[in-house]
Amino acid sequence: MLGGHQFIDTSALFMVNYTSDKVHITKTPQEMAEAVSDLIIQIIKENDQAKKPTVLCLPTGSTPILTYKALVEKHRKGLVSFENVVTFNLDEYYPMEPTHKQSYHYFMNENLFNHIDIKRENIHIPDGTLSEDQVKEFCMNYEKKIREYGGFDLALLGIGRTGHIGFNEPGSHLSDQTRLVLLDQKTRLDAAQSFKGISNVPTKAITQGINTILNSKEIILMATGESKAAIVKKAMEFKYEDPSDCPATFLRVHPNCHYYFDIAAGNLLKIVKTPWLIDRNFKDWTFEWKKKAVIDLAKKTGKGICELGSEDFAQNGLTSLLAHEQFHTDKLCFSVFQDLMKRIAFASEESKIVPDNINEPVLIFSPHPDDDVISMGAMMHCIISKRKEKIES
């Protein structure tokens, strides 16, 4: 266990350290929620059969709401019972009354606990009502309770725009446990609307530490929406000199961490854009993937498409494509070249659709001032060039 000071191979922090089987990309947030809820239920059922409790670490925020809804619905249908589940929440604002609508006590009750058969004594959420001199002892006891249950079977996490997990903001460390922390200004700004102004957002929070989280048997990091795409890429693929700059980077050291993203959140990842660079045994070589790989390779090497040779593929992570093509890269490159030339020729032919000597009014609508130029620029130029009368701008 990490808390037991076992050696950790921190080299994983400085490299892209995930494989295709660890990253799950879904088309929609709902699909992601269904997949994650099914995994949680599977863990609960396995532990129920073994006659032992399931210990979960749970997050708040917008990301897990659909997962909680899916769990509630499956409980309503009789697919799962939470009677033997113990939960520890990641964090809570400080100071914060549990009845406050922005408290995580309120959030968890509204979105999950009030709708399932969990025992109230099995729910643990950091106490935001304590005096500051009581917080340290509370945090130590929180850690002790987690250890008494043998750690988490599963830690469910979201990721903030600063890269925080829980409220472990940039500057957090691998050895950190449950503690009182100062919130990053960006985190407070993100919460400002919910609190009706940043002045109402607490400046502190009680949060589980990186060490606490990493002691979980399994971890799931979730993210949805385009606004999370940049920080997801940073957490998964950037090579930081100091990993604490993006705390979610610490998840790379965990041997059983899985990542669940909808396509909007995951669209910048190599596993989405260039999956063959992550999976050396990539086999889903459609022509579109082949074409993208060849074009990317030509850009990287500075060579023309038909100048690429087997050694270029081999030296740039494309051995699986080499094998797929039985090392006939000349044929592959020529087919990609032909496809591109056909597209260029087709675009040229398209211009002939516009008749010569247009004199009728042409009205072009667009939802945004520059969309017409971006989408129809070439056609507009063609229409203008073929009009009998000059168009005044």
Q: What does the pLDDT look like over 285-323, one tens digit per residue? A: 999 999 999 999 999 999 999 999 999 999 999 999 999
d(CA 47, CA 41) in angstroms, rounded, equals 10
Q: Examine the domain organization and report whether 153 and 137 are in the same domain.
A: yes
Residues designated as active site: 169
With respect to residue 21, please indicate whether it lies within any of the assigned structural domains.
Answer: yes
pLDDT at 368: 79
Whether the CB-CB separation of 110 and 116 falls below 8 Å is answered with no
| Predicted TM-score of the model (pTM) | 0.81
Judge if 49 and 129 occupy the same domain: yes
81 and 216 inside one domain: yes
Residue 45 sits in the same domain as residue 109: yes
In a domain, 68, yes or no: yes
Residues spanned by the domain of 358: 345-392
End position of a domain, from candidates 302, 323, 343 = 343
Domains identified in the chain, total number:
3
Q: What is the pLDDT of residue 356?
A: 61
Res 6: pLDDT: 43
In this predicted structure, what is the pLDDT of residue 19?
76
In this structure, the answer to whether residues 222 and 333 fall within a common structural domain is no
Q: In terms of domains, do 174 and 288 share one? A: no
Q: What is the CATH number of the domain that holds 259?
A: 3.40.50.1360
**Residue 218 and residue 78 in one domain:** yes
Q: What is the pLDDT of residues 345-390, one digit of tens each?
A: 765 555 555 566 666 777 778 887 787 777 777 777 777 776 655 5
Give CA–CA dist 237/15, Å, rounded. Answer: 7
Same domain, residue pair 87 and 114: yes
Final residue belonging to a domain, choices 272, 305, 326: 272
- The pLDDT of residue 334: 95
Q: Is residue 6 part of a domain?
A: no
Q: What is the pLDDT of residue 18?
A: 75
Q: Are residues 267 and 358 in the same domain?
A: no
**Which pLDDT value is given to residue 287?**
95
Does some domain include residue 1? no
> Both 336 and 373 in a single domain?
no
Long-range pairs, 274-281, Cβ under 8 A, ≥24: 275/20, 276/317, 276/318, 276/320, 276/321, 277/317, 278/16, 278/18, 278/19, 278/20, 278/23, 279/19, 279/20, 279/320, 280/317, 280/319, 280/320, 281/320
Q: Which residues of the chain have pLDDT under 70?
A: 1-17, 346-359, 386-393
Q: Is residue 4 part of a domain?
A: no
Spatial separation of the C-alpha atoms in residues 85 and 59, rounded to whole Å: 15
pLDDT of residue 272: 93
Q: Are residues 183 and 285 in the same domain?
A: no
Q: Looking at residue 278, what is its pLDDT?
A: 84
Residues 319 and 353 in one domain: no
